[in-house]
Amino acid sequence: MSLHKNSILIILSAALTLHGCGDSGGGNGATSNGATSNATTYPGAKGSIPEDFNLSDIVVTKDETTFNWSQSNGATNYVLCRKDTEKDNNCDEIGTTSTLQIALTSTGVLELLLDQFFVIAQNDYGQRLSNEKSTAPQDLSVLIQYIKAFNSGYHDEFGFSVSLSRNGELLVVGAPFEQSNATGINSSGSSDNSLVQPGAAYIFRFENNRWNQEAYVKASNTGEGHYFGMNVSMSSDGNTLAVAAPGERTNGINAGAVYVYRFNAGAWGEEAILRGSNTETSDFFGNSLALSGDGNTLVVGATEEASLSTGINGDQGNDPMLTEDAGAAYLFRFQGGSWIQEAYIKASNTNAGDRFGSSVALSNDGNVLAVGATNEQSDSTEVNIGQLNNDLTEAGAVYIYKFTTSWAQEAYLKPLNTGSGDLFGSSVSLSSDGNILAVGASGESSNSKEINIGSGDNSASQSGAAYIFRFSDTAWSQRAYIKASNSGTEDYFGVSVSLSEDGNTLAVGASSEDSNSQGVNGEDNNNTANSGAAYTFFFDGSSWIEQTYIKASNTGADDLFGISVSLSGDGNRLAIGAREEDSSSTGVNSQENNSNEDSGAAYIF
């Protein structure tokens, strides 16, 4: 089985057509001639099949990936294949040509890295397979997209948040400390730095094999300390965008607000500004957010909200003396042309300081919700059990809610190795159907470097971990405990997580990992403090496997690469933020340097 079902674009020429393997005179029903394992003679054939040949090299440039092979004497055409054991001849057909070369439009690193390719030489009498070949990680560095704001500025922290559309062709990047006084979409004033940390968001679109900035997004009420862009979320089709400004001040300092934008008739426009029904000073409404696939359901976390209530739509009155920073989440639906708050959501075990709403995720249909509470304090190691004690400081928990005719809590999740300071719930991500959940615990401290092994050792402080939970039959259960293969103290693995739609590909950020390597699957060491890394893992049907170890193309100390991650729906494209990257460059794939401290960057693999 192929690990990736790719959609590589083909450069068509007069010599290149698309049709099936064996689509020459012999047709289907081929049988092996028994001479060699890579040769097939068609039934009733009276002539010689093509001779042995080799796929000689795969040349990758930023524009094209070219496959070259030697001549197979007797062949009339060649089929380039991506290996897929579920297809005839293990061939996922890319294209057919009579020449000795096929050039494809280069796409992303992940789309090429994990695949194997081969060529089938054909004539009327049979076919012969070449050797298999894959791309080398070092050859793919040229495909890494390095993205900066067009008005990149000192301490803007562009890349603090990232979100990709389902097809991976639309990207939004948040820069919550950007300082211009501009308002609205693509307005003037982007170079003005007269305000302190109002924030901005940037939209990029992939067209004609290039990433270009499409929109510069500012709040319509830009103000100091709003932190607009702290969190961002994009709908599956890329036509709806939510941007959080947890410091927005309409209802008090740091009360917070969320802005919703729609793309219509070729332009972006602000549709709504949302605040919680009880949002007030220091709630930080917008400290997390997530959109459903269709962009019509939105959940917002307010980690410092302080009501005593538990469950759904309870008493919203605050009592900061008893429940300061307890946290809440708010569920909004777009109905009848406007946004309406549908639910006010609290933990089933509300406590002061739990920070419920630290992270949130929605299923594609918006009817399954996960909410993280990083500072929840129960020592439970089971699902739905033991939530009423406060014996482990900052252990963390995740809560699952489901909508049928109304919202109800479905599960209270804790990991099997709950520990003090683990911050379980640092990040959450749901599969499209809402039945698979990834949870990051950036403060988890085991020294394990393997999956599902060694969770009980706590000798690597804040190395971090990720967990996979699955809903099966009527219950949630932990299915995997995931650690980086080079896990180290204070790496904060799990600070960000993202699942593909089917839940079989997982990306995890480790923003303080210390290696100085660059690109994919390089050497790991501890020579560049807090440079950061990301990892991808794949579920093969029975177990989780680490696929890639990812570093920036310009790795630097304290860049915090991996602070944010976002996968496309198929898991073949990955956006990664590095909020403290220091280059003064602007735009896409521009010159790199370290002269603009903490300006930030984003990368696409």
- Closest CA relative to residue 291, chosen from 57, 488, 566: 566
**523-568 pLDDT tens trace:** 889 999 999 999 999 999 999 999 999 999 999 999 999 999 999 9
- Residue listed under structure tokens 């406590």: 351
Q: What is the dihedral of CA 516, 520, 524, 527, to 10 degrees?
A: 0
Does residue 259 register a pLDDT over 70? Answer: yes
Count of residues making up the chain = 605
3-state secondary structure 247-311: CCCCCCCCCEEEEEEEEECCEEEEEEEECCCCCCCCCCEEEEEEECCCCCEEEEEECCCCECCCC
DSSP-assigned beta bridge partners for residue 302:
285, 328
**209-241 pLDDT tens trace:** 899 999 999 999 999 999 999 999 999 999 999
**447-459 pLDDT tens trace:** 999 999 999 899 9
- The pLDDT value given to residue 11: 31
Straight-line distance from the first to the last Cα atom of the chain, in angstroms, rounded to the nearest whole number: 22
- Closest CA relative to residue 203, chosen from 605, 602, 504: 602
- Closest CA relative to residue 78, chosen from 144, 172, 15: 15
Q: In this structure, are residues 118 and 131 in contact, taking their beta carbons and an 8 Å threshold?
A: yes
- Residue listed under structure tokens 């081929």: 30
Dist. CA 517–CA 24, nearest whole Å:
48
pTM confidence score: 0.91
Q: What is the dihedral of CA 304, 317, 350, 384, to 10 degrees?
A: -120
Where b means 16+ CB within 10 Å and e means fewer, 398-432 reads bbbbbbeeebebbbbbbbebbbebbbbbbbbbbbb
Whole-number Cα distances in Å, 546 to 368, 504, 539, 549: 27, 12, 9, 8
Number of helices (H) and strands (E) in the chain: give both, helices first.
2, 39
Does residue 189 register a pLDDT over 90? Answer: no
Q: Give backbone dihedrals phi and psi of 18, rounded to 5 degrees, phi first.
A: -115, 115
Q: In this structure, are residues 154 and 591 in contact, taking their beta carbons and an 8 Å threshold?
A: no
What mean pLDDT is predicted for residues 29-41?
54
- Closest CA relative to residue 259, chosen from 302, 292, 289: 289
Residue 110 per-residue DSSP state: H
**471-525 pLDDT tens trace:** 998 999 999 999 999 999 999 999 999 999 999 999 999 999 999 999 999 988 9
- The pLDDT value given to residue 37: 65
Looking at per-residue pLDDT, the higher value among 473 and 55 belongs to 55
- The pLDDT value given to residue 209: 87
- Can you list the positions of beta strands (E) in 145-239? 145-147, 161-164, 170-175, 200-207, 210-217, 231-234
Dist. CA 269–CA 130, nearest whole Å:
53
- All domains in the chain, ordered by first residue: 16-140 (2.60.40.10), 144-604 (2.130.10.130)
Q: Give backbone dihedrals phi and psi of 247, rounded to 5 degrees, phi first.
A: -100, 5
- The pLDDT value given to residue 318: 77
Q: Give backbone dihedrals phi and psi of 323, rounded to 5 degrees, phi first.
A: -135, 40
- Closest CA relative to residue 5, chosen from 568, 604, 585: 568
Dist. CA 580–CA 154, nearest whole Å:
10
Q: Which residues contact 266 (CB under 8 A, 6 or more apart)?
A: none
